[in-house]
Structures are given as structure tokens and as C-alpha cells.
Structure 1
């Protein structure tokens, strides 16, 4: 490369076709799991190439693409002062297939009712993670990106989320990408990408 050495790209000539169902993205620390999710969510911009869902492409149809891909940084302090219910209310308009009935069921199942009117920074790491996972599951997005969804969760919540993912594995029009060190056990996977 002329002009001196620069940072090497994390992914080079990446071609990825994610099928419907649940795909696990696995790898050790620093292998690019979160970066891949951020790239698919357009939090990171590719140097070249295109990202596309079945009916929209980035950057050609950026707003439609973003409506079809759900991503939320579970660790970001950006929304610390936001109330749980207000965070969901802010996300809802961005996802045309948002399912309020499913969200209410998840609120009950994940024991989030006591937290609805608390600020996100008042929640434990596990409760905060459950808030964003509930939003991801209710979003109705064509592609849902989950980064280490089981970290800091209680066994009952993990069981509920894995049960949901097993149901999602049979949906022919939605893809779920779960990034973690290892593929989740007890979840029916369509594919595994080991970085």
C-alpha cells in the first residue's frame, strides 16, 4: 500500500450470507465478534462493498436497511439517564414490526416490571441486558444481532431467551446472529461462524 503502513482491516474480502434461523458467531477475545455485529448494524462502515438484507441494502437504502436490522450496544452509557419504558418507546417507531404483546410477555417472564420506571444506570448489569434483549426480541427486525446475550443473566432468564431462540430458529423470514465465545448450548443453530 502506498503512503506508508496503516491499520490492517479486521476482515478482508468478507462475504457472508446469513440464513434464516439462529447463527452463532464464536471466537476468543479480540477476534472481531462485536466488530462484525457493529459492521452489520452499520455502527462501523465498511471500506468497500455492500451490506444487504432480502429487501434493502446499505448504503443505497440506508433507512430501510436500519429498520430491518436490530442492534443495541448493551454496555453503552449513552442512555444511562433514560427510563426503561422510555427507551423502548424510543425504539418502537424505528421497527415497523415491533410486537408490543411479545414485549409485555417478556417483561413478565424476565421479571422486568419493577424496573420499567427506573433509569438504565440504576439497573444491575443483568437487568440492563434483559431490557435490551427484550427490545431485540420484540423488534420484529429481519436480522437481530445479539452480543453475548447470556452474560450476567440468571438461569431462569437464560432458559427463557434460549427457548425464544429455539422458536426463532424455525422462522423462515428472520435471522438471529448470536456472538459469544462459544455457541450457545440447547439452541438449534442454522450455522456457526468461528472467527
Structure 2
């Protein structure tokens, strides 16, 4: 497994982390370090990404192994309380109270987070509303907000209290391109001196934001390194062909009418196309598909 040196300013340390639900092992002997900057978390559905984030949020108790956040053990009640005061968590599909206003919901969350007196609390609510471009909708009922606005409001809730660790599970669902760019800028600025963990299927967000990538597969950590290192795993294995090849390769039709083909087990072009295949520079997505074995079967045609 490709690895790099330990991240700068280590925030999270896990050793032998294991979580089971009945007979299903969701996390299998994970050992990892997460430090300052944005760390991307990739993997198939069911790979264990959400379970890991919930463990980091101290929402789930790992069944085995050691988990330390800010140097404190997530296994003790006193340390968990200290950890929770310094983290923000945006879960997948967050539940929001529809009859609250945007300001009212965040003010309620700020009370739960014990963010000081009324004036300081309201100043903090205004700050995070402005950060996600929802200040002008602060008096709107949540039921009247669009899906993208609700997602941004949930992000604002995670940012309350200026946390040291920010956990984001599919945070860009429902965001339009302009909002996604604003999200990237916000998280990149946040993580200059703090830690963010971004779980997503949007690999372009990982490529744009992350200094490190963790890849989970069936609960195991199969990669820990930089985006460039993950991309390098596909070097010499991506081709442009004039027609769709026959065989078990990942293939799709490019807008120019040629076919983009991955050859996960070879640095040679598909047999029979040696003279017409053109090498293509790999992307982070190519490296991920080859690493996880997802490039082993033919993909459906797509424009």
C-alpha cells in the first residue's frame, strides 16, 4: 500500500480500529493518522466511510482498537466531552427541524454547543450564515429552503464554534457549481491551520481540495497517500481508442467519438489496437478505479 510520512499536526490517531455490526465487520483493523489540511475519504458504498466518520465524531463506539483525537482517548467519557466541544460534524442526509427559521435552528445548536452568552452566540450564528451565503435567508423557515440551501445550513451548523476538526459526509449533495466552488474555498481556508475530513463520491472535489487521500475497501484501509500518488497508479494504463474494444476493460465513449479505456493489469494497449491506441494522462479517478479493482469490468457506454 503506498504511504507517505505522517501528516503535519496530527489530529487523529487510530490503531487497530475495528467496528462490527452483528456478523458484519464495517471497519477492519484500521491504522491511520490524520493531520492538518483536508483529507479525502474514498471508497465504494458500504466500504466503511460513514462508520469511520461516526467513530471520529464519537457518535459510535469502536468495538476494538485505540482512537485518539487531539491526543485524547475517545474511549473515556471525560475525553469524549472535550473532543466533542472541538469538532463539527455534517452527517449524510442531515435532519433539520422544518418549522425553525435558519437563524433559530443555528441558535438552538449554538445553545447545545454552549457557545457563551446570547450576544456572542448570535454573533457566531451570523458569522456562519454569512460564510455559507445564507445570511439573507436567516428568517426563512427551513421547510421553504431549497435542498441546496438546507445542505449549506447543515454545513453552517457544523462550523459553529470554529471547530478544530471538521467531519463532512457527502457535503456537496444538492449544491450547484457556483456553490461547490464557494464550498471548496470555505473548506480550504478552514483547513490551513485545522483538520477537515471529506467523505465523498465526487472525486473532483477530492482532486480540488485534498492534500491526502484515504481509500477504504470492505472496511480495510487500502491506500493512504497524496492525490498525486493515487493518480500515479494509473500511469501507462489509460488509452484513447477509435472503437470500443472487446474484453473486460473499463470503457466509455468520449465527446470526440473515441473510447477512453483503462487497462488495470497491463501498461500495454488492448490487444489488436497497438497501432491506433493513444496514451492518455491519468486522473485521480483512474487511479482510484484501478486501485479498488473497479476497472476490471466493462462500463456502459456514456456520452
TM superposition shift of 1:7:
1.6
The question of whether the paired residues in 2 share the 8 Å contact of 1:129 and 1:149 is answered with yes
For residues 86-125 of structure 1, the aligned pairs below 5 Å read: 86-93=104-111, 94=113, 104=126, 107-108=129-130, 110-125=132-147
Q: Distance in 2 between matches of 1:17 and 1:100?
A: 35
The question of whether the paired residues in 1 share the 8 Å contact of 2:142 and 2:150 is answered with yes
Return closer, same or farther for 1:175/1:74 CA change in 2, 3 Å cut-off: same
2:40 aligned partner: 24
The question of whether the paired residues in 1 share the 8 Å contact of 2:61 and 2:75 is answered with no
> Which structure features the higher share of helix residues?
1
Return closer, same or farther for 1:105/1:142 CA change in 2, 3 Å cut-off: closer
1:3 aligned partner: none
For residues 61-140 of structure 1, the aligned pairs below 5 Å read: 61-73=79-91, 75-77=93-95, 79-93=97-111, 94=113, 104=126, 107-108=129-130, 110-140=132-162
Q: How many residues align?
A: 188
Cα-Cα RMSD: 2.8
1:152-187 per-position Cα deviation (integer Å, ceiling 9, x unaligned): 11222211111122223421xx21001101441563
1:165 aligned partner: 187
Higher relative contact order (CA 8 A, sep 6+): 1
Return closer, same or farther for 1:66/1:114 CA change in 2, 3 Å cut-off: same
Give TM-score scaled by structure 2 length: 0.54
1:175 aligned partner: 195
1:151 aligned partner: 173
2:211 aligned partner: 190
Unpaired stretches in structure 1, ≥5 consecutive residues: 1-5
Q: Distance in 2 between matches of 1:106 and 1:71?
A: 14
> Which structure features the higher share of strand residues?
2
Q: Distance in 2 between matches of 1:63 and 1:18?
A: 20
1:30-51 per-position Cα deviation (integer Å, ceiling 9, x unaligned): 2222222112112222112343
Give TM-score scaled by structure 1 length: 0.80
